[in-house]
Amino acid sequence: MCCIQSLKTSCGEEYHDVDPTNHECINNLDAFDETYPYLLSDYWANDAVVRKALHVRKDTVQRWIRCNYRLDYNSDVSSSFQYHVYLSTKGYRSLIYSGDHDMVVPSMGTQAWIRALNYSIVEDWRSWHVDGQVGGYTRTYSNGMTFATVKGAGHIAVAHKPLECSVLFKRWINQEPL
- What is the rounded CA–CA span in Å between residue 137 and residue 151? 8
pLDDT tens per residue across span 79-130: 777 888 889 999 999 999 999 998 888 888 899 989 989 999 999 999 999 9
Q: What is the CA radius of gyration of the chain?
A: 20
Q: What integer pLDDT is reported at residue 1 of this predicted model?
A: 45
Residue 132 clears pLDDT 80, i.e. is over it: yes
- Other CB atoms within 10 Å distance of the CB of residue 132: 5
Mean pLDDT, rounded, for 27-45: 75
Percent of the chain with pLDDT over 90: 39
Q: Is the CA virtual torsion 48, 53, 54, 55 positive or negative?
A: positive
CATH class of the domain whose range is 78-173: alpha beta
Which has more pLDDT, 174 or 155?
A: 174
pTM of the model: 0.63
> Is 2 a residue whose pLDDT tops 80?
no
Do 81 and 116 form a contact (C-beta atoms < 8 A)? yes
Whether 61 has a pLDDT exceeding 50, the answer reads yes
Kindly list the domain boundaries of the chain, sorted by start residue: 2-39, 78-173
